[in-house]
Structure 1
Amino acid sequence: MIDDLSGTWGMVQMGIQAALVVWALAGLLLAALPPASAYSIEGKWPKPAWIAICAVAAILFAIRPLGFFSLIAMVAVGVFFADVRPAVGGRRR
Structure 2
Amino acid sequence: MIDALPGTWGLIQLAVQAALVVWALVGLVLAVLPPASAYSIEGKWPKPAWIGICAGAALFFAIRPFGILGIVAMVAVGVFFADVRPAVGGRRR
TM-score (norm 1): 0.91
What does residue 26 of structure 1 align with?
Answer: 26
**Structure 2: gaps spanning 5 or more residues:** none
What does residue 49 of structure 2 align with?
Answer: 49
Q: Distance in 1 between matches of 2:10 and 2:36?
A: 40
What does residue 72 of structure 2 align with?
Answer: 72
Q: How far apart are 1:7 and its partner, in Å?
A: 1.1
- 1:12-41: CA deviations, max 9, x gaps? 000000000000000000000000000000
Q: How far apart are 1:6 and its partner, in Å?
A: 2.6
Q: Distance in 2 between matches of 1:38 and 1:91?
A: 6
Pair 1:85-2:85 in alignment = yes
What does residue 58 of structure 1 align with?
Answer: 58
What does residue 35 of structure 1 align with?
Answer: 35
Aligned length: 88
Q: Distance in 2 between matches of 1:27 and 1:19?
A: 12
What does residue 9 of structure 1 align with?
Answer: 9
**Structure 1: gaps spanning 5 or more residues:** none
Q: Distance in 2 between matches of 1:61 and 1:22?
A: 9
Q: Distance in 2 between matches of 1:67 and 1:32?
A: 27
Q: How far apart are 1:91 and its partner, in Å?
A: 6.1
Letter in 2 for 1:15: A
